[in-house]
Amino acid sequence: MRVGMIMDYSGGFRESVELLQDYEAAGLEMVAVGEAYSFDAVSQLGFIAARTDRVQLASGILPLYSRTPALVAMTAAGLDHVSEGRFNLGLGASGPQVIEGFHGIRYDAPLGRTRETVEICRTVWRREPLVHDGRHYHLPLTPEQGGSGLGKPLKLINRPLRDRIPVSLAALGPANVALAAEIAEGWQPLFFHPEHADRAFGTSLAEGRARRDPSLPPLDVQLQVTFSMEGDDERHLAAVRDQLALYIGGMGARDKNFYHQLAGRYGYEREADEIQELFLAGRKDDAAAAVPDELARGVSLIGDETEVAAKVERFAAAGVTTLLLNAVSSTAEQRVGEVARLAALVAHGRST
């Protein structure tokens, strides 16, 4: 298991970057930057690449609708170049609330677009002339497809540092999870509950792995998880409940909310419905209070050292191979120290 962290895209970014050398010394192996309707992740990843030497970099995630597949490939190759081969491309479909509401692009065919985007990226990184005739993307665009007829197959001018940059897919729905297990180097789930993971994801992972190219490495399960060893469990768990209420209750329409559906697959159908009703009625505090304690504790990494060590073992047993920590303890010094303690726990687990 690797120890990484997810950077806060809403504030405190520069302060966190200033500490990255301390985090590296503490055992941090990967840092990921998210992108919602925030600052873009790419500029921040480039800044991190210039300020670090060893830590792996990842997008966590780039929404694939807001960039053409070729631009995704160019961006990944550029970040891999400036980081000297340390970049990992995290992609995801996001959801209609962001894609249609913020970008003004129709949210359609997420599975097909994800598959074709990955195919196009890998063609670009191999510096092959870009020819792709898919259901959703046509390169070059012909007159029959609305083009001028002047386009021709091109290959990337620069020579990428690597012809195969690791790709991880953010996925929660059964078909998306199966796709990640089939075509990607990594999978980025959110709100992963180790005790209920097999019930929610087991069949999909098995289906995808059955179709997986044997040349791909074992699937790297990269888990974003709230982390603290500070001991103030209730305060930090309250923040986890608030986040779960937001996602289960309001991240999407009533009948198109992936997080509500995930809670149902975990066995919390009644509770998910209650959270959604309360949240959509504007009763956000009540929605957070309705989040089951077992769910909030199960999807987080909060507790004293003994409790955290036990949780790490449960995550590892459920297949997690990379922890992307959202470290929430009160001070920077505490957060760095806790990452060091966690890295030591993980290293001990590796050795045994």
Half-sphere exposure of 94 (CA within 13 A, CB side): 23
Using one digit for the tens of pLDDT, what is the confidence trace for 281-295?
Answer: 999 999 999 999 999
Q: What range does the domain containing 110 cover?
A: 2-231+303-351
- Structure tokens given for 109: 């065919």
Q: What is the pLDDT of residue 195?
A: 97
Domain membership of residue 196 (yes or no) is: yes
Domain membership of residue 251 (yes or no) is: no
Helices 269-280, 258-265: inter-axial angle, 10-degree rounding? 150
CB within 8 Å of 342: residues ≥ 6 apart: 3, 27, 227, 229, 308, 312, 323, 325
Using one digit for the tens of pLDDT, what is the confidence trace for 51-82?
Answer: 999 999 999 999 999 999 999 999 999 999 99
For residues 77 and 124, is the Cβ–Cβ distance under 8 A? yes
Domain membership of residue 48 (yes or no) is: yes
- Structure tokens given for 176: 């998306």
- In 3D space, the residue among 172, 191, 200 whose CA is nearest the CA of residue 244 turns out to be 191
Domain membership of residue 256 (yes or no) is: no
Does the pLDDT at position 215 exceed 90? yes
Number of domains in the chain: 1
Cα–Cα distance between 352 and 348 in angstroms, integer?
6
- Structure tokens given for 156: 């990337």
Domain membership of residue 274 (yes or no) is: no
Cα–Cα distance between 181 and 216 in angstroms, integer?
10
Average pLDDT of 121-132?
A: 98
Among left, alpha and beta (phi > 0; psi -120 to 50; other), residue 303 is left
- Structure tokens given for 189: 């789930």
Q: What is the pLDDT of residue 304?
A: 93
- Structure tokens given for 83: 């980081």
Please state, for a pLDDT cut of 90, what percent of the chain lies above it: 88
Q: Residue 256 — very low, low, confident or very high, per pLDDT cuts 50/70/90?
A: confident
CB within 8 Å of 43: residues ≥ 6 apart: none
Residue 226, φ and ψ in degrees, nearest 5: -70, 130
Please state, for a pLDDT cut of 70, what percent of the chain lies above it: 98
Q: What is the pLDDT of residue 11?
A: 67
Using one digit for the tens of pLDDT, what is the confidence trace for 144-175?
Answer: 999 999 999 999 999 999 999 999 999 999 99
Read off the pTM: 0.94
Domain membership of residue 260 (yes or no) is: no
Domain membership of residue 237 (yes or no) is: no
Average pLDDT of 31-48?
A: 94
Half-sphere exposure of 247 (CA within 13 A, CB side): 18
Domain membership of residue 162 (yes or no) is: yes
The single-letter code of the amino acid at 253 is: A
Give me the CATH number covering residue 139: 3.20.20.30
